[in-house]
Structure 1
Amino acid sequence: MNEPLNPEQLRSLTPLNVLSEQQWRELRSQLVPQHLLAGQVLFRQGDQAHLTYYLLTGELQLISLDGSEEVLRAGSEASCHPLSPSVPRLHEARALTSISVLALESSTLNRLLTWRLAYQDLLLELGAAGEDVEWIESLLENPLFHKVPPSNVKAMLDRLQPLSVVAGDRVLQQGEQGDCCFFLKSGRAEVIRDEGGARQVLAELEVGACFGEEALLADRPRNASVTMLDDGMVLRLDRQDFFALLKAPVVNEVSLGEATRLLSQGAQWLDVRLQEEYERAHALQSLHMPLQLLRLKARLLDPQRTYLCYCDSGKRSANAVFLLSQMGFSAYLLRDGLDALPAIQRDGLLCESGSGYLARSGGRTERSR
């Protein structure tokens, strides 16, 4: 049985190389390579599986719709990017030698990637405002925050109510109805369950831990009590805020045809992917501004111009549109992203060497090639 690959073996793969250690752990069950013999087909043209493939070893032949062929070798620059990412597939992929590939659920990867880049962007903003970034980063690693759409995370942080507590305080009582959840900002606390008069200590909570959310998610009474062991501080999130912030905000979106009309009226493409993804292929005259730097670089945008945001799946660009709209810009996302475009439309939009613009530090942009 194959052992899962470790993150160091995958650091060259784009965009996997930006994921955090915790996110790698979430993906661990999927990090097992698949092996094919020479002549076997990995996928065919028109394949609908929502999987992201990477070539790890060997040589693979990609056959396009028009019959043209490309040989992909593991370790090459091209192999560091997903294989034929559009769904349905634009190519047939056939092993020329014995090969190994990595197959990841696209929805999971897109969720993790969007979350990681959005929260990097938020930490940069909060750090510039003098906030305790180390504490916030530990808080954001809590699995509960992973259920929150990235664009809502700052609103959740803003709604946390700090409460000072002392050793011996019972923050939650077993059997009570849940009207809030808490995060432990400082101090220690223990989780205790009373079963038939027997007191059972279930866990000791560390800084950054969330407790009380199970009663909210399951709409059931508290299944345990939480008592402070030290003086400290907890952050309370009310039930109504909790559920409001689980809902993704509505953002403006357009089809490629509607985007073309807006471009003719002076709009501009805004590529919010990583630079490695942008340099591989991008829309002509697009401005590159990666999601994780969007708040810092937004000053380079023209407030009188409309921006059309795109990424592969539409998830990163949806978050970008929300952020830009919050800052007063006119912005739309390309509906469902690049991967949903038919082959002829995708090929017509993206080019490998056409000029665009890179947003650089120091408040300037420069031409790209």
Structure 2
Amino acid sequence: MSNQTADISRLEDFIPFDCLSESHRNEIQGQIEVIKIGPGRLLFKRGQSSDKAYFLIEGSLDLTDASFQVRHFTADDDENYLAIDNYAEHTINAITAEATTLYAIDRNKLDLLMTWTQAAESMLDEDDDENERDWMDALLSSELFSAVPPAMIHSLFVKFEEREVQLGETIVTEGEDGDTLFVIKQGKAMVTRTRGAKQETLAALSAGRFFGEDALISDSPRNATITMTSDGVLMCLGKNDFQAILQDSVIRHVTEDELDTMVLEADTACILVDVRLPMEFRHDRTPGARNLPLNELRREVQNLEKDFFYVVCGDGRRSELGAYILSEAGLNAYVLDRGKPTDAKEESHAEAKQA
């Protein structure tokens, strides 16, 4: 192990780091564990559960599968663009063949960041300016919004209302009731609090910062005054809208066994949809599935056949967001909960897709 800080630029050739926003890459840098180990050391073994994703930065590994076939895998291999054997339960043994450097990160955190980034990008038009992206990234990088189900991110953002503000305008006043969250899309603001007869300056806020979040989770009065120190634009979200979004979940899950039963009993065809990125899909293809990454799915959803039912496969929260996009468009959609599929079930699902 090493106390060395990860060089985030070394991960730019790996999925999903190549598509994470700059703010998310900076956030995740401190959560990457740098692993330096000598030759002949076991990194993980087949059947072992793991909550980490490993990326090979330098050196090489000998990877042994269930048939005892060994593959020598080097850092400069053309296929070294994904985490190594990135499953909750490993399917191979991995042993270092020489002095090796790897980066490790919590798989759940990585999945969450990737879902947020794709969700925000799916809402942006090509002509949207950088300010539009920045304020979304600011929210999605915060601990407060980590509690928002990724499938509801789109509904959350469309509830925000834009408000133009002027230099010197007071946005919130200390001691008053509050029921709105504000995000600074453009401009700057100052945070002050009364101390006896004096006004104490607590902080300066710039574009991308948000305030008023206490109003979304409690009924306490404002604990500071926020005043604009320039002209600007705020994005505003009411407390009721936020609560309604959290309570409104339309995501339905099915297991592989339940899906098999649905396919046998249904009068309409089942369409498998994989919302991962194309390179991920090609590397670990789901037989019979149609690859529709989130951006493309949102564009194509109105053209999909409404008489079929859709099952979103792939992994993690992106599948939930995909199912939400389909459901929002009036389609019958589910998320497939599964482990590593058997050949028989893969064939069954492929036949269902072709029905």
Is the CA contact 1:32–1:102 (under 8 Å) kept in the aligned structure 2?
yes
CA separation of 1:303 and 1:250: change in aligned 2, threshold 3 A: closer
State the distance in 2 between where 1:51 and 1:326 align: 33
Q: What residue identity is the alignment partner of 2:259?
A: A
CA separation of 1:276 and 1:222: change in aligned 2, threshold 3 A: same
Is the CA contact 1:39–1:95 (under 8 Å) kept in the aligned structure 2?
yes
State the distance in 2 between where 1:85 and 1:347 align: 19
Mean Cα displacement is larger for which, 81-90 or 202-211? Answer: 202-211
State the distance in 2 between where 1:211 and 1:20 align: 22
Map 1:1-369 → 2, pairs under 5 A: 2-124=3-125, 132-143=128-139, 144=142, 145=145, 147-214=147-214, 216-217=216-217, 220-246=220-246, 249-263=249-263, 266-313=269-316, 315-335=317-337, 341-342=339-340, 345=341
CA separation of 1:232 and 1:62: change in aligned 2, threshold 3 A: closer
State the distance in 1 between where 2:185 and 2:103 align: 39
The equivalent residue for 1:361 is: none
Is the CA contact 1:39–1:96 (under 8 Å) kept in the aligned structure 2?
yes
State the distance in 2 between where 1:48 and 1:163 align: 49
State the distance in 1 between where 2:249 and 2:181 align: 22
Is the CA contact 1:149–1:245 (under 8 Å) kept in the aligned structure 2?
no
State the distance in 2 between where 1:232 and 1:58 align: 50
Q: What residue identity is the alignment partner of 1:189?
A: A
Alignment TM-score, normalising by the size of structure 1: 0.82
Specify the SS of the correspondent of 1:204.
strand
Query: Per-residue displacement from partner, 1:94-146 (whole Å, max 9, x unpaired)?
Result: 1121111111101110000011111111114xx6xx8x554431220223555
The equivalent residue for 1:360 is: none
State the distance in 2 between where 1:218 and 1:43 align: 45
Q: How many residues align?
A: 342
Q: What residue identity is the alignment partner of 2:56?
A: L
State the distance in 1 between where 2:87 and 2:233 align: 48
CA separation of 1:148 and 1:288: change in aligned 2, threshold 3 A: same
Mean Cα displacement is larger for which, 277-286 or 318-327? Answer: 277-286
Shift of 1:290: 0.9
Q: What residue identity is the alignment partner of 1:277?
A: E
Q: What residue identity is the alignment partner of 1:154?
A: H
Specify the SS of the correspondent of 2:30.
helix
What is the aligned-residue identity percentage?
27
Q: What residue identity is the alignment partner of 1:229?
A: T
Is the CA contact 2:54–2:83 (under 8 Å) kept in the aligned structure 1?
yes
CA separation of 1:209 and 1:17: change in aligned 2, threshold 3 A: same
State the distance in 2 between where 1:347 and 1:62 align: 22
Q: What residue identity is the alignment partner of 2:290?
A: L
Q: What residue identity is the alignment partner of 2:80?
A: S
State the distance in 1 between where 2:281 and 2:22 align: 25
Specify the SS of the correspondent of 1:94.
strand
Structure 2: unaligned runs, 5 residues or longer: none
